Amino acid sequence: MTHEPLIPLRADAARNRAAIIAAAAALFRRDGADASLEEIARAAKVGSATLHRHFTSRQALLDAVFIGVVDQLCRDGREILASVPPSQGLWTWLEWIAIHCAAQDALARLIRDGAASPEYQAKSVEVLEETGRALLDRAVAAGAARADVSVTDLLTVVNAIAGAARPGDVHRLMSLVRDGAVPRGEGDGAKTEAAPDQITDLGPGRVCQP
């Protein structure tokens, strides 16, 4: 899932674009959708004209930030798939989503409220479900999730928790979800404490939305 220009950028232009997106994420997180584009340009160390060449509207810039969040979340899922045991991987990833979606900053609220363009919201669901499906398949094979549980169901519950819970309550609520989704009669073997070290090691300050 990308929001890249049709014509490949020169190296310096690509660096400017990445700097603008990073600065925008920080300022949208602090100030919400009304963050000053002039301040974003200054934080990215580019001129206003450069910002507007890359992003013709505030919405286009918000969409680029949103896509970056979703792409990072998918990378996290692939990293977990490769490094975390099957019985824990799915739940580590889902709790990671919930923790960062429940963050009480302005960017998290924007993403929860659907501020991105509809086409990108729809695509984000598609790519997140693809990532989650690989984790779910491994969890089912390991006896850590029921075969009748779908990724869509799990992301719906995670989104509801993120929208209603305080960050400090996420682990407890996700534990309830996990306990309800393991095969009956096998729950004791499938339960694992959500490894907080694995979750926080993915990196600080990310905010994710299914």
What percent of the chain has a predicted confidence (pLDDT) above 90? 60
Which tens digit of pLDDT belongs to each residue from 79-135?
A: 999 999 999 999 999 999 998 788 767 888 887 777 889 998 899 999 999 999 999
- The residue-averaged pLDDT of 39-63 equals 95
DSSP code string of 148-172 = T--HHHHHHHHHHHHHHS-GGGHHH
The reported pLDDT for the residue numbered 51 is 96
Residue 191 predicted with pLDDT over 90: no
pTM of the model: 0.78
- Separation of alpha carbons 17 and 92, rounded Å: 32
Helix axes 58-83, 118-141, angle to 10 degrees: 10
Token pair listed for 76: 């996290």
For 67, residues 6+ apart whose C-beta sits below 8 A from its C-beta are: 1, 2, 3, 116, 120, 124
Which domains, from first to last, does the chain contain?
11-200 (1.10.357.10)
Q: How many CA atoms lie within 13 A of 119 on its CB side?
A: 7
Residue 20 predicted with pLDDT over 80: yes
